Structures are given as C-alpha cells and as structure tokens.
Amino acid sequence: MILSGAGLSAESDISTFRDSDGLWERYDVMEVCSTQGWQQNRKLVTDFYNARRRELAKKEPNAAHFALAELERKYPGRVWNLTQNVDDMLERAGCKEVIHLHGTLRDLRCESCHRLFDIGYRAQKEEERCPYCGSADVRHNVVMFGESAPEYRHIYEAVDDCGLFVAIGTSGRVIDIASLAGEFYHSILVNPKREEHITAYGNFDKMIDAYFEHFLQERATAAAAEMTAMIEEYLDEE
C-alpha cells in the first residue's frame, strides 16, 4: 500500500499547500478550497483551479513517479497506489491504477448526473456544460474542506489487503499515517523532514522512530532507488 502526498510532486515544481511559499501563503484556504468559499464566490474558486490546471500543463513527472510506475508494471495487481495529489504526474509516468483520494484536477464533475469529464489543462468555460446530460451545473473535481471524500473507502480496503505500508512525501496532517503504520508489521516512510508526530518520540537529541519500521529521510527522488529495492524485496519474498 503506497500513500503519496505533495512531497512526491514537489520536485516536479508543483506547488505544495503547507510548505514555505506554498499556496496557503498566497491564498485564503477558506475562500478557494472550502464549501463555504464555493457557495460565496464560485468564480473565484473556478479561477483558482483554472490557474492550477494551466500550471500543471507545463510540469513533468520526476524519477519517483517513474519508479512507482515501474513497480506497478513489474508487480501487476499487487500494488495499491493511493495519492492525495490531484495532479496527473503518476498517470503521465505510466501508472494505470491510481486512486486519487482528493479528486483530479483535469476533470470536471457534473452536479446533476454526477459524472466526470476530462477537460485536459484548459480553463473551465463560463458556460461549461456536461457532455453527458447537458447540465450547466458543473464544478472542479477536487474535494473541498467541508465535504466528504468518498475515495477514502479505498484506504481501508488497502489496509486489509496489504502487508507493507509506504508513505511518501506526506506530513500526516490530513491522513493520520502514524495510525495507518500501526496496522502493518512492515512500513516505510519517505520524507525529507523529521516530523515528531509521525517519526519519533522522546527527546529531540535522541530520536526513536516509533511508528515506521524504516525512515528514509530524503526527498522522494533521492530515495526512489532505495525505496524501490525495499518494496521489491518484500514483494519477492511474499
């Protein structure tokens, strides 16, 4: 079970939300990423996601994305690839079975028939209509604060199905990866920062990794080869 966060795509120069110079330093999160903000100013929210989509068109997958795609190719049906990211870097690297827990940036969602349709990297038109039912009641396909995330059901399915948990580039602030790691005998964390709430307990001068079996304190691309080798060793022995 692989769960990735913003750190996976950060090295593709895709803006993170919480880091220094992240999106939340430039935007009010409650104005552009909440149900309240959507109800108050739909144009502002639509413009925000149009800008993210336009930026995405210029980005490219990095070595960590390609490493995950190669794992999927080499071990078909044995890797759960769940991501909190709404970009399409994993798919562009070659991944076929990606579960986007928080939605997808390239898709719009019809609020009448509830179907998704891909608009690529273009802006949502002012009078955009659903190609399936013709409704003009369409919106971005990204989960906002204040609404449910239906794809989270796959987290529990993956926990039941897997024996190794790998968390890549996520702070654990949205999804509690420390608790998830506790469900597994084997676990790997890849993150450049040592976050006390997910990696250790005790005094900072003598850290003890409490939640994850292995902690690779590197960026995703730097850790890709070692991480892949560890995953392959587990899968080959399973």
178-158-192 Cα angle (round to 5): 40
> Which CATH fold would you assign to the domain 2-15+61-107+148-237?
Rossmann fold (3.40.50)
Catalytic (active site) residue 102: yes
> What are the backbone angles phi and psi of residue 126, rounded to the nearest 5°?
-60, -35
Q: Which of 112, 110, 111, 87 is nearest to 100 (CA)?
A: 87
> For each of the chain's 238 residues, which pLDDT tens digit applies?
999 999 999 999 987 655 555 554 567 888 888 999 999 999 999 999 999 999 999 999 999 999 999 999 999 999 999 999 999 999 999 999 999 999 999 999 999 999 999 999 999 999 999 999 999 999 999 999 999 999 999 999 999 999 999 999 998 888 999 999 999 999 999 999 877 666 655 555 544 567 899 999 999 999 999 999 999 999 999 7
- In 55-130, DSSP assigns E strands to 81-83, 98-100, 103-110, 116-118
β-strands 103-110, 116-118 pairing: antiparallel
- Domain parsing of the chain, residue ranges: 2-15+61-107+148-237
Give the Cα separation of 132 and 4 in Å (integer).
Answer: 32
Catalytic residue among 65, 102, 154, 214: 102
